[in-house]
Structure 1
C-alpha cells in the first residue's frame, strides 16, 4: 500500500517562495490519481511537475510542465500559473488514461466552463435576471477565477475574494464603449459599507450557484471549497422608504400626464416597473377586477386584485382600446423602455419636494407598507407581491403591522397550566378633570 502524501501549499506565489530548497517536488493532489508538483532547486524560479498513477496502480508517470511564475508574469507556454499548470497536468493524464478502466475522474473543468454550463441552464429555465447575473459574472467572477480549475479552488481563496469584494471601489454606471469608472470606497460611511457587503453577498450567491450546478452535474468531485463560504451577516437591513398618502398625492400631481398613469398604476398594484410596462389591455379582467402579471421576477404568473379606486382607474384607461395595445405608453405612443422611468421620477420628486428622492421601485414598497399598516396578513402581501415565501415580506414589512409581535405571542404561547386562583380583577382608572 502506497504511503499517503501530505498536500503542500503551492497554489500562491507567496506560499511557494516560503518553501525550502528540496531534492523532490512539493506535491499536491488535484484529482484522483493526479498530482501537481512544485520543484524548488537552487535556481530562482521553481518548476512545475505532474505525476499520474498508472492504470495498474503500482507506479507514477511524471512530466516537467514548465517554469512557475515566481518572478515573471505567466505567458501560458513556458511560464505558468498554478491554474495553467493544473490544466497541463490533466492533459498529461489524458494521454496516459485513454480508457476509464479504473474509473479515474480526469477533470479539465475550468470555472469558465462551469459558468457557460450554468448560464445555459439559467436560460433554459427562463429566469428573468439573466442580464444582471451575466453582468456580475463578467465584472467580478470571470476576471478572478475564469481560467482556474474548479477542482483547484480552495476555501481560503474564496474567502479572501469575498472580503476583497466587500472593500473594493464601487463600479459606476458608464455608457457603452466608455472606460469603466469607480467610486472610491468610503470607510467612514456605515451605510456605504453595508451596501458594499450586500453587493458582495449577491455576487457570492451567483458564484456558489454556478459551483453547485457543477457539483450537481458531476463536473466537480467535491464542494468542500465553497460549502462553508458564508455571506456577510446583517447587511440586508436597509431602511425601507415609502410614501405617506400626502406625499403620494403630491408626487402624482407633479408627474407628466403619461408618467402619472404609470405611477398611479404602481401605487394601486404594487407591480414592478418591468411588469407594468409589459402589461397589455387584455391583462385587465373587467369581470373579476384583477390584473394578470404573466411572468414576474420569479418566473411565475400572479393575479393582483384591485380596490375600488383601482377598478375605476383601470376601467378608465382600458375602455375602447385594442386588447393587444400596451396598457401604459408614453405621450409619443412608444412603449416605456428600460430605465425610462428614472429621470421622470427624479423630476417629479423635485417638483413635489420629496427629499431625498425615491426610486420607482419604492412605489412598490409604498403599496406593501400601506397594506401592512392596515393589518393585512404577511402571507397575503407576499402573494400579491409575487414573493416565493414570506421571509422577504416579513423582513421589510412586519414591523409596520399594528401589534404584530404581540398578536403572534398571544396566538402561539401555550398555557402552562397554572392552577392558582385569584379574585384580583383589572379595573379601569378613572380620569378626573381638574
Structure 2
C-alpha cells in the first residue's frame, strides 16, 4: 500500500521542512506523468537505478547543493552505484546530465506542488557544459543495403522501415495495421518519446513495404511481427543488430538507433531544412536537430556559397 503523505496544497510553500522523501517525490512525479499520458518506463528506470539508491530514503528538504553536485560528478566518473551488482558503470557527462534532468524534474514537481519548503538545494545545480557531442554512429546508403541484405526477413522489415521513417525501435514495434494511411503515405505513431502522438511520413520505398505488410490483415494486428508470429519485445533488436553488422562487415557494429540517426543524416546531407528534419523525426523544436545534424550540412552550405557569392576575379596571389 502506498504511503499517504499530507502535503500542502499546490504552490503553498510554508518554509517548513515536511519530511517528504525523495522516494515519495519520485512516486508522485511518475503518477503525474502517467495521468498526463506521458511515457514513464525509461524515466522510472533511470530514477530506480541512479536516484533512489543514493537519495530514496532522504527527505527532500534535507538535500544540499554540495552533495547533489558531488553525486552528479560521480555519475560522470562512473562511480559505483549503491546496490548495483556490476559495480563501476562507465557513463559520459552527457549521460550524467540526462540523469540530473530526471532528478531535477522530480524535485521541481515536488516544489511546485508545495510538498517541500525550498528548491534552493538544486536550483543552482547546473549540467556539465558542452557535454552533448554529435554521435558518429552513422551508416551510408551502401552500408545500409549490406545490412538489410544479411538480416533475417522479419528483422529486415524492421530495419527497412526504420530507414524509411526514422522511427525508434519501440515506436515501430507498437505500430498496428490501422496506423497506416495509404492515401497520405503516413503512419500514426500513437505515443512517442515525448508522450505526443504524431503522423510520420514514409518514403516511397517504405510505403510499398508497409502496404505489403498490412495487406489482408486485421486492423488491430501488429504491423511488424517476428517470424514466429509474436510481437517484437524490448531489447530483442540488440543481438540481431550485432549479428547483422558482423555479417555485413560493419565495424564497429552499430545499434538499432543508428538507423534513425542515419535517416536524419541522409536528409541533412541532401540539404533538407532542419525544420523539416525536426518534423520528420518528431523533435519538439530544432535545437536537438541542430545539435546532431547541422554539422552535416557543410557541403550544402558550400554549394550555396558557390552559387550565390559573386566571384571577385582576383589574381591567385591576392
TM-score (norm 1): 0.64
Does the 8 A contact of 1:372 with 1:401 survive in 2? yes
Partners in 1 of 2:147 and 2:312 — Cα distance?
Answer: 48
Partners in 2 of 1:339 and 1:407 — Cα distance?
Answer: 41
Partners in 2 of 1:297 and 1:425 — Cα distance?
Answer: 47
- In the TM superposition, residue 184 of structure 1 has moved relative to its aligned partner by 6.5
**1:335–1:348 distance in 2 versus 1, CA, 3 Å:** same
Residue 93 of structure 2 corresponds to: 197
What pairs up with 1:10-409 in 2 under 5 angstroms?
105=16, 107-128=18-39, 130-169=40-79, 180-183=85-88, 195-403=91-299
Does the 8 A contact of 1:240 with 1:365 survive in 2? no
5+ residue gaps, structure 1, are 1-102, 172-177, 186-194, 410-423
Partners in 1 of 2:303 and 2:60 — Cα distance?
Answer: 50
Does the 8 A contact of 1:374 with 1:402 survive in 2? no
**1:226–1:281 distance in 2 versus 1, CA, 3 Å:** same
SS at match of 2:131: coil
SS at match of 1:401: helix
- Number of positions where the alignment pairs a residue of Structure 1 with one of Structure 2: 299
- In the TM superposition, residue 182 of structure 1 has moved relative to its aligned partner by 2.9
- In the TM superposition, residue 300 of structure 1 has moved relative to its aligned partner by 1.0
Does the 8 A contact of 1:375 with 1:402 survive in 2? no
**1:206–1:104 distance in 2 versus 1, CA, 3 Å:** closer
Higher RCO (CA < 8 A, seq sep 6+): 2
Partners in 1 of 2:234 and 2:282 — Cα distance?
Answer: 21
Q: Which has the higher helix share?
A: 2
SS at match of 2:92: helix
Report Cα offsets for 1:137-172 as digits up to 9, x if no partner: 22222232223222222211211222222223467x
The structure 1 segments of at least 4 consecutive aligned residues displaced by more than 6 Å after TM superposition are 406-409
Report Cα offsets for 1:257-298 as digits up to 9, x if no partner: 111111111111111111111111121111111111111111
Report Cα offsets for 1:364-400 as digits up to 9, x if no partner: 0111111111111111111111111111110000111
SS at match of 1:182: coil
- Structural RMSD (CA): 2.7
Q: Which has the higher strand share?
A: 1
Over alpha carbons, which structure has the higher Rg?
Answer: 1
Partners in 2 of 1:246 and 1:408 — Cα distance?
Answer: 26
- In the TM superposition, residue 340 of structure 1 has moved relative to its aligned partner by 0.9
5+ residue gaps, structure 2, are 1-13
Report Cα offsets for 1:280-320 as digits up to 9, x if no partner: 11211111111111111111111122332222222222222
TM-score (norm 2): 0.86
- In the TM superposition, residue 228 of structure 1 has moved relative to its aligned partner by 0.6
SS at match of 2:133: coil
**1:121–1:179 distance in 2 versus 1, CA, 3 Å:** closer
- In the TM superposition, residue 219 of structure 1 has moved relative to its aligned partner by 1.6
